[in-house]
Amino acid sequence: MVAKKVLDTVAGLRARIEQYNYEYYVLDAPTVPDAEYDRLMSELMRLENRHPELITEDSPTQRVGAQPLSAFSEVEHKVPMLSLANAFEEAEMQAFDRRIRDALGVDEVEYLAETKLDGLAVSLRYEQGKLVSAATRGDGRTGEDVTRNVRTIDCVPLKLYQRGFPSILEVRGEVYMTRTGFRQLNAVQSEKEGKTFANPRNAAAGSLRQLDSAITASRPLSFFAYGIGEVGGGELPATLAEVQEKLKFWGIPVSPLTRRVHGLAGCYDYYREIADRRAELDYDIDGVVFKVNRIDQQTELGFVSRAPRWAIAYKFPPEEEVTRVIDIEVQVGRTGALTPVARLETVFVGGVNVTNATLHNMDEIRRKDVRVGDTVIIRRAGDVIPEIVRVIMEKRPRGLQPFRMPDTCPVCGSEVIRQEGEAVYRCNGGLFCRAQSIQSIIHFASRRAMDIDGLGDKLVEQLVNNHLVDNVADLYDLKKEDLLQLERIGEKSAANLINALEKSKTTTLARFIYALGIREVGEATALALATHLGSLDKLRNADESTLREIPDIGPVVAAHIVSFFHETHNQEVIDRLIARGVHWTDHKPAVTESGKLAGKSFVLTGSLSSMARDEARDRLQALGAKVTGSVSSRTDYVIAGAEPGSKLDKAEKLGVTVIGEDEFLKMIA
């Protein structure tokens, strides 16, 4: 017999988990971090594993799936699940509203407006507050029994929350997959060389209709309720808006974008608002739905054929169309990444004429097998760049050749490289490539690099766009009269920038290395390179094995460094910088004392009276220490200056050693 203390603990854990689920999925206002939720769930699972007789069907732990089915059984809908009539133009909406007003004999109708999710319609049946069955729409009268699969969806309550619900309550809604979840699922499927999905709707439908519910449990499915079916043993409010509030009260998630609107003007305002916000949503919608809000008016209006007279779906312009790929070009981004872009025969999709579609990267092209001359399906969602969904293989002409990424940059002719394990090809001419010039100059001039005061982002863009500067070496050829040609640059500003450029010529080797913008070479790595190699010449000639002997430099960073200096164009820009007077004092070989803090991790908080935080960080790094921005159990010391922040509190909670400024100065002396 299970002790009363265990029974009470299990009941308490379930109550707390159900409360947190309600806050997370329904209110969208979680009050505990994920770690605390996971801890409670683990404790409940531990107790249920120890006392299996305590496991109930509605326990929060029972969402892992069951033994695979051989086939789905059929479920008859007591109240048919009907489709909706569609409107594509304002004239059709006007006709719908006029019919409603004429039938009801009113001047204006209150509608409930909601987004039309692009997912799979399902019906959830609760008896005495417990989920007993779930079914797909099917043909509207008979659907498939997907109860075991729906039980694995975290946001669907296994028993209703709060109180006051009817003894029989059938909830209608949509199972869908977020765009984020869809991308994550396809990434996992690709790694396992499994089936990838064309879009979130297909992924949601395929996941819900798995005979093995354990597979469904592993998929990121969500649910929003939008209405009700059969109701028995209780009453519901008089309007659909109030019904949805009741569903939310009972723990069933409903869309936060649902609202009441008045008349046709309110419908149009809602349609335009959602159309504008469509791209920012993390789930696909293909229109909005308007329903007469009062349920007695719905009953009066009734049904026609397979659709209710009191509701309509106002669809957005089509987002998928068929067109042909006439070319694949390669664009070079500000970071040197090469992105293939499909040039298309113009097609009207999503409300605009589309002539280009992103192909993302070479892996995506191979996965979809896109070739010049292919007939393809194009999708456009809101203001998002159009993309190719898939190739229509049966329309492929014979002899089309697979696309190959170029060996040299189409902008500057530098070598194109792809590091092992990466999807992106990159131009290696970081200092030379015009496509990367704005980004490389902004980084070069930044405070922690060459510290060129007054050379901000907007000014860099003007210099590049007016062809006064193509790369960082050109900065030191600028004359005051060149700057006076630019907008908002007067005599004083021009003189100040020329002086700042001259001042920046005196720097340190570590700053110069960091300013070059070598991939994954941050300040700490630049300092390590300068400290251990001592000179730029040694760095330029170092091979990967030499670089990997330096602490914290692994094979990837070493490969980036060697590749950067292997590119002739980068070497030429560096030589020009040195020729124009950029200089520093080479480091002497590091002595033992300089590494006395090697392996130690520090965090700075508050202000120091003896030096700036940046200088303190440099001093620590020069002695081999690692300086991070957040406190963890792996932090060795927290240096607390005046007015320390929350980092001090966290250090004290974790038991990390805290030292003041005086002790810090002794440590680095």
Active site residues: 116
Q: What are phi and psi of 249, to 5 degrees?
A: -60, -35
Q: Are 379 and 199 in contact (CB under 8 A)?
A: yes
How far apart CA 641 and CA 664 sit, in angstroms, is 10
**Calpha distance 423→359 (Å, rounded):** 12
- Neighbouring C-beta atoms of residue 450, cutoff 10 Å: 24
Residue the block writes with tokens 């305590």: 54
Residues 6+ apart with CB under 8 A from 194: 188
User: To 10 degrees, what angle do helices 34-50 and 4-21 make?
Assistant: 140
List 604's β-bridge partners, or say none: 639
Residue 279, amino acid: A
Alpha helices in 342-424 (DSSP H): 362-368
The β-bridge partners of 110 are 262
The answer to whether 524 and 621 have CB atoms below 8 angstroms apart is yes
**Containing H/E element for 224?**
strand 221-232
C-alpha to C-alpha distance for 254 and 124, rounded to whole angstroms: 14
Residues near 398 by Cβ (< 8 Å), separated by ≥ 6? none
Query: In a 10 Å sphere around its CB, with 0-12 CB exposed, 13-18 middle and 19+ buried, how is residue 234 labelled?
Result: exposed
**Closest by CA position to 227, among listed 14, 79, 12:** 79
CA distance 290 to 312: 6
Report the SS3 class of residue 522.
coil
